[in-house]
């Protein structure tokens, strides 16, 4: 077992086997895990918002579904991964509060999930598993060695997708 | 009022926001003391403009279980406010409010506890917003609050996403009150960007 690399909110990290990469307490954000099964190069992005072009202050590219996914792929390719072989697993995108009253923020979790899916599809990367939506927070750990994506939630057994 | 940039907020704007936080949190703690009919010592609130990556840490870790009460703000300004309590503090407050002698020690909150917590959140955020309204002479109307008990990181993702449309930092106010034991509560106030400017200009800035 290697070390576990931590990804913060609106952040992304590259991760090579045997290391693992984690992000804690995903709420409406989405944890996008991508892996090249052959080189075992992987990475995890913790994206907060669906669209970088909708926000003026968009300097932090890891924050958005579109630019975050692009950047993670770019870094993985630079580390020797091939986009053709890449596969993705995604988790998060919950709606934490029943009525998040502000109209633009309604279903932001769902919008994040959809934006991530659209961006991955644009790159031709298949999503092989997902655990998204619902109303609870998730901690995720991704293992590029096996491709396992572990999901922990309060009061629920650990799930592996 | 010049362009307000949350990423580069310094000097007087920050001081003003601090002061708003101070007064709001002080008022909220006073309301809490009245509700519990006890004397509560209030520490000077700690107000920080944090990077998203630091927010979870500041509350004791992203996975720490907390109770979050979240509501929208309408009227002259718009946005939202969240009040967070550590799980244990939530149990302690609920027990006091309901006159129970034993504090529940579990991850579970019963229906009546959840309802009491919602009421605590209501009073705390209401007192906070009232002082903000008095200070700025603006009409500030809270929407119906909603409660969620989960990991701090997951709860905070909601206001963080709102801050995220404006910059890469969020304003957090930590307030501690001590009665028999110290209880830490946190306020996260998120006016949207035009509202920030309204708030500051109402104070003559």
Please give, one letter per residue, the 3-state secondary structure of chain B: CCCCCHHHCCHHHHHHHHHHHHHHHHHHHHHHHHHHCCCCEECCCEEEEEEHHHHHHHCCCCCCEEEEEEEEEEECCCEEEEEEEEHHHHHHHHHHHCCCCCCCCCCCCCHHHHHHHHHHHHHHHHHHHHHHHHHHCCCEEECCCEEEEEEHHHHHHHHHHHHHCCCCEEEEEEEEEECCCEEEEEEEEEECHHHHHHHHHHCCC
What pLDDT shows up at residue A101? Answer: 47
State the CATH number of the domain containing residue B79: 3.40.1550.10
What pLDDT shows up at residue B1? Answer: 38
Integer-rounded Cα radius of gyration of chain A: 15
Q: Chain A residue with minimal CA distance to B154?
A: A27
What pLDDT shows up at residue A33? Answer: 96
What's A39's DSSP letter?
T
What pLDDT shows up at residue A117? Answer: 95
State the CATH number of the domain containing residue A138: 3.30.1330.200
| CB B120 within 8 Å of CB B94 | yes
Measured over the CA atoms of residue B57, residue B63, residue B64 and residue B67, the dihedral's sign is positive
Structure tokens at A79: 């580390």
| CB A9 within 8 Å of CB A29 | yes
Active site residues of A: 29
Q: How far apart are CA A127 and CA A54, in angstroms?
A: 25
Residues of chain B with pLDDT below 70 are: 1-13, 44, 103-107, 179-180, 205
Structure tokens at B38: 């006890």
Q: Considering the domain boundaries, does residue B138 fall inside one?
A: yes
| B157 to A29: CB separation less than 8 angstroms, yes or no | yes
What pLDDT shows up at residue B188? Answer: 84
Domain count, chain A: 1
Residue numbers in A near B8 (CB within 8 A): none
Q: Considering the domain boundaries, does residue B1 fall inside one?
A: no
| ipTM confidence score | 0.86
What pLDDT shows up at residue B7? Answer: 57
Q: How far apart are CA A114 and CA B15, in angstroms?
A: 40
Q: Which of A8, A28, A60 sits opposite B161 (nearest CB)?
A: A28
Residue numbers in A near B80 (CB within 8 A): 100-102
Residue numbers in B near A138 (CB within 8 A): 154
Q: Considering the domain boundaries, does residue B190 fall inside one?
A: yes
Domain count, chain B: 1
What pLDDT shows up at residue B2? Answer: 43
Q: How far apart are CA B140 and CA B188, in angstroms?
A: 16
Which residues span the domain enclosing A58? 4-160
| CB B189 within 8 Å of CB B21 | yes
Whole-prediction pTM: 0.85
Q: Which of A10, A96, A101 sits opposite B164 (nearest CB)?
A: A10
Write out chain A's pLDDT in tens, 161 residues: 689 999 988 899 999 989 999 999 999 999 999 999 999 999 999 999 998 888 777 778 899 999 999 999 999 999 999 999 999 999 999 988 876 545 455 688 989 999 999 999 999 999 999 999 888 999 999 999 999 999 999 888 899 99
Which residues span the domain enclosing B133? 6-202
Q: How far is B157 from chain A (nearest CA, A)?
A: 5
The contacts of residue B11 (CB under 8 Å, 6+ apart) are none
A75 touches chain B (CB under 8 A): no
Parallel, antiparallel, or unpaired: how do β-strands B46-51 and B169-178 relate?
A: antiparallel
Place of tokens 């890449």: A86
| B154 to A63: CB separation less than 8 angstroms, yes or no | no
What pLDDT shows up at residue A1? Answer: 64
């Amino acid at each position: 077992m290697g070390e576990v690399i931590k990804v913060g909110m609106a952040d992304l990290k590259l991760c090579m086997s045997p290391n693992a990469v984690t992000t804690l307490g995903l709420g409406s954000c989405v944890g996008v895990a991508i892996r090249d099964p052959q080189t075992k190069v992987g990475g995890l992005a913790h994206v907060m918002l669906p669209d970088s072009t909708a926000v003026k202050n968009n300097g932090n590219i890891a924050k958005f579904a579109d630019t975050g996914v692009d950047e993670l792929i770019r870094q993985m390719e630079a580390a020797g991964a091939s986009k053709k072989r890449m596969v993705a697993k995604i988790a998060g995108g919950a709606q934490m509060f029943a009525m998040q009253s502000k109209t633009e923020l309604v279903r932001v979790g769902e919008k994040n999930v959809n934006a991530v899916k659209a961006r991955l599809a644009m790159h031709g990367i298949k999503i092989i598993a997902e655990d998204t939506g619902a109303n609870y927070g998730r901690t995720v750990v991704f293992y590029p060695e096996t491709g396992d994506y572990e999901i922990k939630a309060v009061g629920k057994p650990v799930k592996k997708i | 009022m010049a362009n307000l940039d949350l990423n580069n907020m310094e000097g007087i704007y920050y001081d003003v926001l601090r002061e708003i936080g101070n007064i709001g949190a002080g008022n909220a703690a006073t309301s809490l003391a009245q509700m519990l009919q006890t004397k509560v010592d209030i520490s000077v609130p700690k107000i920080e403009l944090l990077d998203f990556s630091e927010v979870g840490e500041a509350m004791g870790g992203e996975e720490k279980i907390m109770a979050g009460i979240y509501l929208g703000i309408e009227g002259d300004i718009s946005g939202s406010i969240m009040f967070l309590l550590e799980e244990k503090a939530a149990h302690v407050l609920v027990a006091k409010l309901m006159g129970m002698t034993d504090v529940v020690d579990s991850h579970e909150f019963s229906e009546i506890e959840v309802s009491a917590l919602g009421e605590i959140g209501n009073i705390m955020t209401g007192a906070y917003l009232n002082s903000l309204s008095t200070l700025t002479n603006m009409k500030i109307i809270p929407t119906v609050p909603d409660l969620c008990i989960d990991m701090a990181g997951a709860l905070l993702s909601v206001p963080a996403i709102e801050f995220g449309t404006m910059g890469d930092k969020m304003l957090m106010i930590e307030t501690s009150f001590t009665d028999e034991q110290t209880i830490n509560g946190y306020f996260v106030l998120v006016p949207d960007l035009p509202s920030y400017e309204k708030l500051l200009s109402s104070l003559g800035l």
